Amino acid sequence: MLMASVVSSAPEDHLKPYFLRARRTFLFAWLFSFCASLFMLALPLYSLQVLDRVLSSHSIETLLMLTLIMMVGIVFYGIFSALRTSLLNQIGLWLEAALAPKLLEDAITKSSLGQFVNAAQHQRDLAAIKSFLSGGVSTLMDAPWSLLYLLVIYLIHPQIGVLTVVGIVLLCGFGVINELAIRKLNALSSEESLKSNLLADTASRNAEAVETMGMMANIIHHWQRFQKPAADHAEHAAARANLIQSVAKIVRLFLQIAVTAIGAWLALNNELTVGGMIASSILIGRALQPFENAIALWKSFLIARESYRRLNAALASTTQLERGTLELPVPEGHISVENIIYTPAKSAPIIKGVTFRLAAGESLGIIGPSAAGKSTLSKLIMGLLPPTHGAARLDGAETFKWNRANFGKYVGYMPQQVDLFSGTIKDNIARMDLEAPMENVIAAAQMAGVHEMILRLPNGYETQYDQMRYSLSPGQRQRIGLARALYNNPRFVLLDEPNTNLDGDGERALLGALTRMKQAGITFIVVAHRPTIVSMVDKILVLKSGTVERFGPRDEVLRMYTPAGIKHAQQQAAGEVADLPPHAAEGGSV
């Protein structure tokens, strides 16, 4: 609640409900802050009593009693401070546990829909807010209790109280000046840093191309175009903030000296005791400390505020897909694509009225030139993209609306670019299910023809995959990705360019896997460029510019793309020969 009120000014605050749910914990932290501040009064009051009562009365008993009370007060101060810090840390941990999975899930969902999402930035923003909760909020909670110290100072002597008020106003003014001086520079620095980070990430992902084609100097030059302004803005902001903090510190020290001097002058005029003078000097330091700390913490505050804004925007744009919630029966593998059209926002249609059907156990090869829409059609079939019109169905149920966790039990999918997660090879094949039976993992690897390759790895199935320490070739990752797609005996499998990175042995293993899939009665679709792969399928669909050019039994369709077939088609178009047999198999249409 405190964080939301301080950081957010958006009309619709999607993070605020999370802080409101933690308001009781914030309230207890605030109360512990009050108790800690109350017990901190023990130190100046102890000095006041020792100097004014003990020294004048020469009472050892009074000194011992005051010292004992002071020690107890310090113990309670430590306890309440620790409790406050613990509660704020718990709020940060709870917020992370509540938001991190939601943000990651939304990032993955948006990425599957083709939207760019910086998931790592979301987690960094969450960490920045968590860090500010642990540290900066304590300072904010201390600030109101400065009024308590101010009241005690005023009771000691009104003139010193007025001087303390002046000091608080001056430090608040420095805080405002600090905000105005560095806000724009920090925003510019953050914007340029984001550009440089994106460029660096892109360069890292394309390291082979950069190194092979001698692009290193050019990439570094472009990176510096963003990095240097970011560093310059950050340096100027830090210099301004440092200057303002130094001036604020000087003012605070001047005020403490002024309080001591005024207190001494009042003591000489018998208007204030020596104990009151010392107590006032200690109290003004405590009263001004939260405001001085706030200036020092301003950068953290700005980072947390910007992180809050980005996370709020991310939650505001959370993708809500119309997924089902019911678990459907195990499908047989019937595939039907019904006049499916896909038109991205503010763009021309990519898929234009594609229709076909596959019986359970049948296989299909989707071929066509680059940019024909093959990968987009694959994502529509797998329910990754929402069709603009029409539907893709597995056993009559729309794949896009099918509950993902339930849908994933019955299907396998291998995208064009296969990467693995940090973990063992076994974990990756088992789709990161840590409790997966080993026999199911081995069965998937054997069906994919990758069992022997895995056994040759340093620790076989227990080999730890980690891009930073142990990596695999693109071909190895692709073969393990095929095993992952075949894990748990799926009823339908779609492979998008499964032989892109395979050598001769890998391609032979892939052909063997396709044969075993047919024998197992698995319905599968293969998207491919090379005709060797589609030689294993029952039917072929030729996609061109998002429309179906041909669909039918494999041999009939392939015959149309041989020289004789092309000549026959030209003669047919000229009316010189009779029509060829229809290309659509039973249950299929173009």
Q: What is the dihedral of CA 257, 260, 264, 270, to 10 degrees?
A: 140
CB atoms within 10 A of CB 371: 12
pLDDT per 10-residue tile (average), the chain, 590 residues = 42 80 89 85 79 78 84 88 89 86 77 69 84 81 81 86 86 82 81 79 71 75 81 84 84 83 84 82 82 76 83 74 77 94 87 94 91 90 91 93 88 88 90 90 94 92 79 87 93 91 86 93 88 82 91 87 52 44 35
Task: Name the one residue in this structure whose structure tokens are 């209790």.
Answer: 145
Q: What are the structural domains of the chain?
A: 1-135+307-317 (no CATH), 145-296 (1.20.1560.10), 335-573 (3.40.50.300)
Q: pLDDT at position 6, please?
A: 41
Closest to 167 measured CA to CA, from 242, 248, 244: 248
Q: Are 491 and 523 in contact (CB under 8 A)?
A: yes
Phi, psi of 547 (to 5 degrees): -120, 160
The confidence score (pLDDT) of residue 530 equals 63
Beta-carbon count within 10 A of 68 CB: 10
pLDDT of 320 reads 62
Report CA-CA distances (Å) from 60 to 50, 54, 63, 65, 66: 10, 7, 5, 9, 10
Residues 546, 372 contacting (CB under 8 angstroms): yes
DSSP string for residues in 295-354:
HHTHHHHHHHHHHHHHHHHHHHT--------SPPPPP---EEEEEEEE--TTS--SEEEE
- The DSSP 8-state label assigned to residue 488 in this structure reads T
pLDDT of residue 321: 64
pLDDT of residue 527: 92
Closest alpha carbon to 3 in 17, 11, 12: 17
pLDDT of residue 365: 93
Give CA–CA dist 75/73, Å, rounded: 5
Q: Residue 489 contacts by C-beta under 8 Å, 6 or more apart in sequence? A: 443, 520
As a three-state string, the secondary structure of 258-299 is: HHHHHHHHHHHCCCCCHHHHHHHHHHHHHHHHHHHHHHHCHH
pLDDT reported for residue 405: 84
pLDDT of residue 443: 95
Q: At what angle do helices 504-519 and 438-448 cross, to 10 degrees?
A: 110
Helices (H) then strands (E): counts for the chain: 24, 12
Q: Are 28 and 87 in contact (CB under 8 A)?
A: yes
Buried-exposed string 283-321: b where 16+ CB fall within 10 A, e elsewhere: bbbbbbbbbbbbbbbbbebbbbbbbbbbbbebbeeeeee
